[in-house]
Amino acid sequence: MAVKTDAEVIIGGKVFTLSGYESEEYLQRVASYLNNKLAEYNKLEDFTRQPPARQNILMQLNIADDYFKARKQIAIQEEELQVKEKELYDLKHELVAAQMKLENAEKSLKSVQKELDDSSRKIVRLETELADKKERNDRNERTDRNKRE
């Protein structure tokens, strides 16, 4: 179970003790955020003319607005993340399919190359046989001519 943390922070020039299960650093960041909001609004003349109760309500409204905008931004980013994850998933499947297609093409290429090599050897063998037969045939014809003469 998380340990409860107490941290003394300064908000609007006053010391407060914040307690929570977050780290002291986080509690200081929360106080810093509030101090930045106060400083931002204290620069506005219209804000400083308002009674303190109204100033507090305006600050609360502004902080709530920041919160809802942040939640909306998170929802948008989560949606974008889901889209990107789906794209990545689809691309991985396309890559696997392309790799399988490449492997099949390489196998087919090897098979065709083997057929080509076999056919080339057969052509050489047949050309050699043809040359041998022509040579024998020429010899036989010369021998026959010589016998007739």
- Segment 18-54, tens digit of pLDDT: 999 999 999 999 999 999 999 999 999 999 999 999 9
How far is it between the farthest Cα atoms of the chain? Answer: 141
Could you identify the residue written with the tokens 């107490």?
6
CA angle 69, 61, 24 (to 5 degrees): 75
Task: Give the pLDDT confidence score for residue 141 in this predicted structure.
Answer: 86
Alpha-carbon distance of 20 to 24, in angstroms, equals: 9
Instruction: Answer whether residue 102 shows pLDDT above 90.
Output: yes
Instruction: Answer whether residue 149 shows pLDDT above 90.
Output: no
User: What is the amino acid identity at position 142?
Assistant: R
pLDDT tens string 104-115? 999 999 999 999
Q: Is 9 helix (H, G, I), strand (E, B) or coil?
A: strand
pLDDT band, residue 98 (cuts 50/70/90): very high
Task: Give the pLDDT confidence score for residue 140 in this predicted structure.
Answer: 87
Report the sign of the C-alpha dihedral through residues 68, 71, 73, 79, in that order: negative
Task: Give the pLDDT confidence score for residue 135 in this predicted structure.
Answer: 93
Q: How much is the pTM?
A: 0.61
User: What is the amino acid identity at position 3?
Assistant: V
Q: Is 10 helix (H, G, I), strand (E, B) or coil?
A: strand
**Beta-carbon-side half-sphere exposure of residue 36 (alpha carbons within 13 Å):** 7
Alpha-carbon distance of 9 to 32, in angstroms, equals: 9
Pairwise pLDDT comparison (8 vs 145), residue with the higher score? 8
Instruction: Answer whether residue 8 shows pLDDT above 90.
Output: yes
24-42 helix and 52-148 helix, angle to the nearest 10 degrees: 110
pLDDT band, residue 90 (cuts 50/70/90): very high
> Structure tokens of 126?
């047949």
